[in-house]
Amino acid sequence: MKIKKIHFIGIGGIGMSSLAFFLAKKYLLSGSDIGSSPIINKLKKSGVNIDIGHSVKNINNQDLVIYSSAINKSNVELVEAKKRKITSISRGMALGEFTKNKKNICITGTHGKSTSTSFISQILINSGRNINAFLGAIDRKLKTNFIYGKSNTNVIEADESDNSFNYLKPDISLITNIDYDHMDFYSSKEKLFKAFQSFIEKTNKCVVINLDCKNIQKNLKKLNSKKITTFGYKNKKCDYYFVDNVYGSLELYHKNKKMGEILTSLEGLHNHYNLIGAIIVCIKLGISFKKINKSLNKILTPKRRFENIFKSKHFEIYDDYAHHPSAISSLREMLNKSKDISKNYLVFQPHRYTRFKESYSDFIKEICQWENVIVTDVYSAHEDKKLKISSKQFVKQVLNKKKINIQYINEFDKIIDKMYRIFQKNKNKTKLITVGAGDINKIGYRLKDKIKENKNYAR
């Protein structure tokens, strides 16, 4: 089938839009979504015709329809496309199809894949390599989730959430870690690990794996040793390992031989794992450690990765994409390790009812480790609200476990007002950290605007 016209249902999603940017160079694209966004506006400027709202009128004479995993089977556009016998495929399947003859570097894992994908892309570009990059988050420097380089080499964030990463054909891959997430899709741990095993087997040349991950150690034992390259923290059993020294830098070792010192401003062990994994992938791609090291001082984490939104003498606002107990735990450990003494307020927005239910007890255990917490309503992410689970009840169960300063507030405006009063009255250093994969970051930006209306905010 000769393809000229392609329609995207749910084009504004982070994965859908990166694929649309890629295909817009070659095909005539149209798309639809339930609302506008900066990404959609950028796609429009690149020549993509996008309608806000789904309608049968958006489906006419396209050759192919690509739909987001968030799109329901009963979506009017998808139903109309099938009625007209237009080939309709998921985003994951389409990404695999349009990149199958390319040199693909694929990054997956429960946590850190967006950051690792961004790091690899930045290192390669800073080292003079020409690449296309499909990012799972907005690059803070380039302000985009897709980098177009007219290249045969693709750096791809590989989505494990619905097994779509197994549509890809990786040349080199990186697995950051494996945690119990998206179990509503996989239904069992065995199926989850089988999917990762399949991803490893499909990788052509080399798989770089974080061997410190306990789930990888326990469940991915039957690995082709010739294909696998392992790394870890102070783990001398690995092919590569790293340590932190007294000067605050990292040292990288290969086969117990020191390769060199890495100067980085990145905080947190989770970010160090992401950085080391990215460095090893780039070494596998033929970039010298010396050349890689020269570019590391320019490395930035993507947006929504402990992103600073506001900073004054006594008050700071940060936003983080953390939406799983392990990710929130990594954030807490990073804050505890930092030398500055501040009072931390966590604003937690659970993401998806299924995830909240799956990891409910682990969320309780983690939230109990924080002193000051506000919990707001679950961000459904298009899920039906059928599960009998609520943020209000969650707060009660946390308090049954441990008496911390925690409350349920369902309205963003009320949270902003509360934190603004704390900003006005508190003379001690305070950090507000919003966490979640939904729209919780709106709180930080709106609070910032409210503070800046006060001319004397920089106390």
Positive or negative, the CA dihedral 231, 236, 240, 246 is positive
Q: What are phi and psi of 403, to 5 degrees?
A: -85, 90
Instruction: Kindly state the helix (H) or strand (E) to which residue 22 belongs, with its residue range.
Output: helix 14-23
pLDDT in tens, 392-443: 999 999 999 999 999 999 999 999 999 999 898 877 889 999 999 889 999 9
pLDDT of residue 384: 67
Neighbours of 341 (CB within 10 A): 7
- Upper half-sphere CA count for residue 37 (Cβ side, 13 Å): 17
pLDDT of amino acid 456: 60
Per the CB < 8 A criterion, the answer to whether 434 and 349 are in contact is yes
The reported pLDDT for the residue numbered 376 is 96
User: What phi and psi values does residue 168 have, to the nearest 5 degrees?
Assistant: -85, 160
- Taking only the tens of pLDDT, the chain with its 459 residues reads 689 999 999 999 899 999 999 999 899 999 999 888 889 999 999 899 999 999 999 999 999 999 998 888 899 999 999 999 999 999 999 999 999 999 999 999 999 999 999 999 999 999 989 999 999 888 887 788 999 988 899 999 998 888 999 999 999 999 999 988 777 788 898 899 999 999 999 999 999 999 999 988 888 766 667 899 999 999 999 999 999 876 668 999 999 899 999 988 888 888 999 999 999 999 999 999 999 998 887 788 888 888 999 998 889 999 998 988 999 998 998 888 877 778 899 999 999 888 898 889 999 999 999 999 999 999 887 776 667 789 999 999 999 999 999 999 999 999 999 999 989 887 788 999 999 988 999 999 999 999 988 766 554
State the burial class of residue 202 (Cβ atoms within 10 Å of its Cβ: 0-12, 13-18, 19+). Answer: middle
Local structure of residue 177 (DSSP, 8 states) = -
Backbone angles phi, psi at 149, to 5 degrees: -125, 15
